[in-house]
Amino acid sequence: MILMQILPKAFYDRDAACVARDLLGKLLVRRVDHRRQIGRIVETEAYLGPHDLAAHSARGRTTRTEVMFGPPGHAYVYLIYGMHHCLNVVTGPGDHASAVLLRALEPVSNIDTSASGPGRLCRALGIDRRWNGHDLTTGELVLAEPANLAGHFEIEARPRVGVDYSGEWAHKPLRFCIAGNRFISRT
């Protein structure tokens, strides 16, 4: 049995880069019927808010980005390339319009396909736009601190992926991963 404690809202009400680093090693838990799918977060990307030209909020408040301008701790799910869903966690402080993209999971329980890469992660857990705006501190999709899977690991910081349009922001080391983990995405 995996012991865990759901992350509180205060965890998310901080700078996106801090949250992105601190999410490494935490668990993404999706309850489907009477079964829990659990993955250990091994790769994230931080999007710092409207001043970050790679962030969706840099284009202003739109129907698509509305949830980013809301309270921290909610899911921001969008469709990219018309086929892949991406799960982000809205961060703070306050209604700052920043978020952390969950890029890869290490399967822990009941995940039978690859969750390496944001599209695969969402496909493996059945996450789509219906989850947009979901409060990640309650219900059938939560983030949690593992009580019995904790361990020391080193964190690597790398440039983000697929944001070449954002000029100098494309090269900032805002993608974080657990060093040497075999489940991080290839790019």
pLDDT tens column, 90-137: 999 877 899 999 999 999 999 999 999 999 999 999 999 999 999 999
Task: Let me know how many helices (H) and strands (E) the chain has, helices first.
Answer: 3, 9
Confirm if 105 and 28 have CB atoms less than 8 A apart.
yes
Strand-pairing partners, residue 34, are none
Superfamily, domain 4-178: Methylpurine-DNA glycosylase (MPG) (3.10.300.10)
For residues 179 and 24, give the distance between their C-alpha atoms in angstroms, rounded to a whole number.
11
Q: Is the pLDDT of residue 33 over 70?
A: yes
Confirm if 6 and 142 have CB atoms less than 8 A apart.
yes
What's the whole-model pTM score? 0.95
The residue with tokens 């509180």 is 8
Q: Which position has the higher pLDDT, 130 or 151?
A: 130
